[in-house]
Copies of this chain bind each other. A is one copy, B any other.
Amino acid sequence: MENKPARKPHVVIVGAGFGGLEAAKLLIDEPVRMTVIDRTNHHLFQPLLYQIATAALSPADIAAPIRGILGRCKNTEVILAEVKSVNVEARTVSIGEREIAYDYLILATGSRHSYFGHDEWEKLAPGLKSLEDAIEIRRRLLLAFEYAEKITDDAAKKAAMTFVIIGGGPTGVEMAGAIAEIARYTLDKDFKHIDPSSARVVLVEGDQRVLSAFPEDLSLKAMEQLKELGVEVHTGIHAKNLTEEGLQVGDEFIPCRVKIWAAGNTASFVGKTTGAPVDKVGRVLVNEDLTIPGHPEVQVIGDLANFSYRDGKPLPGVSPVAMQQGRHAARNICAMMDERKPQRFRYWDKGSMATIGRNRAVADLHIVHFSGLLAWMAWLFVHIIFLVGFRSRIAVLMQWAWAYFTFNKGARLITRNFQAESRPLT
């Protein structure tokens, strides 16, 4: 009589961002069945999303179909669906039409932007998390110039050419720099009735300095570089009274057509449905080994997790954290299958970088701080290396090279019907 082969455990990974994808890649060759569920059909290289929003790259350059990466793996099934909830007792996740049972679960559903209770601001000031967000922001940016070119009223022209970015973290800084560049170098000679290089770009940060997660000297360098690009930086001020007409920044009401939100995140609602304790932005308070209390078979990683670091502060919501946690969660599952205990997660912080524009960036490698051209080249190198898939990497490199030498941006497309948008606002 033959031994009946043991049933392979079923690993469900929810979310194919940096964390989920890394976990999946490690588990491809393990004796498990795996199901990866995502509500989009693509893995997105989010650090470059602002380049879609500012017309430098095309969506396909930074997004790779999840099936293209994992679909051909024998042990892996990919499902395009949104997970509605997790039932940790029954060990199932619900995708609405049906429940999917798991033996091990990795939750990596990430975060969305948060408007601090002002949900009505979302339409007025879109944030930047998905491809759709980026295409929408690109459309608003480009239409603002088209609108300014067409109209005759000077005040309305000025409002159309004023861009306010709310939030001075890496995304806000990158957006402000990129908008200033596109106005000054790409569109500067394209119009007859406006001078795009006179566009006003305003960055508003509630904290005392931009890039507040960086060391103070680099915050100052970033501020200097933004000012060189003509960006007006306001720190220590919270934007108020957002309306279609503009917003209040300190004592000044700034009339502006395009506002961009880069000021806060809230974790995906899926975390709460596990019943595990969450912090005030909805992140799951995970154990030292990334599991949740009482359920070692459930691990939460990336932006959805609140992992207490050295000083009790949670780890930041950046891709290296998500990727390291993804790999760790996969290794924990292997350990548990061997009836070993999940291990404590340790973050290897290699430093951080933010780019401000052409030849302008800051890089914090702990032992040394860079800014300017050297930091920019380091940023470029790291981002190309990490871009998923051969094709993207070459295509992106070519477009960057092209943009660098010509100051041209290749993806200046306005898609969707612009008619509804020729009206004064949004």
A→B interface (CB under 8 Å): 39-42, 58-61, 63, 65, 67-68, 71-72, 77-82, 97, 131-132, 135, 142-143, 146, 149-150, 187, 189-193, 391-392, 394-395, 398-399, 402, 408, 410-419, 422
Contact = CB atoms under 8 A, between A and B. Distances in A.
4 interchain residue pairs of minimum CB distance:
A71-B190, A60-B411, A67-B190, A65-B412
A67 B187 CA distance: 9
24 contacts: A41-B142, A41-B146, A41-B412, A58-B59, A58-B60, A59-B415, A60-B413, A63-B413, A67-B190, A68-B190, A71-B190, A72-B189, A79-B149, A79-B150, A80-B143, A80-B146, A80-B149, A80-B150, A131-B415, A132-B415, A132-B417, A391-B410, A392-B410, A395-B395
Most B CB atoms within 10 A — which of A40, A67, A142, A415?
A415
Q: List the number of copies, as a whole number.
A: 2
A161 B78 CA distance: 18
Given A41-B146, A71-B191, A131 B80 contact: no
A413 B67 contact: no
B190 A414 contact: no
Nearest to A71: B190
Contacts of A77: 192-193
A14 to B, nearest CB: 15
A415 B135 contact: yes
B150 A412 contact: no
Nearest to A418: B80
B150 A414 contact: no
A190 to B, nearest CB: 4
Contacts of A412: 41-42, 65, 67-68
Given A41-B146, A415-B135, A408 B59 contact: no
A36 to B, nearest CB: 11
Contacts of A190: 67-68, 71-72, 78
A131 to B, nearest CB: 5
A142 B80 CA distance: 11
A398 B394 contact: yes
Nearest to A74: B192
Contacts of A40: 414, 418
Nearest to A146: B80
A209 to B, nearest CB: 36
A416 B416 CA distance: 11
Most B CB atoms within 10 A — which of A67, A97, A149, A416?
A67
A247 B95 CA distance: 31
A416 B192 CA distance: 34
A146 B97 CA distance: 14
A40 B414 CA distance: 7
Contacts of A418: 39-41, 80
A412 B412 CA distance: 20
A189 B410 CA distance: 33
Contacts of A193: 77
Contacts of A131: 413, 415
Contacts of A149: 79-80
B410 A59 contact: no
Contacts of A411: 60
Given A41-B413, A150-B81, A415-B131, A68 B408 contact: yes
Contact of A58 (B61, B81, B419): B61
Contacts of A82: 419
A28 to B, nearest CB: 14
A37 B195 CA distance: 20
Contacts of A391: 399, 402, 408, 410
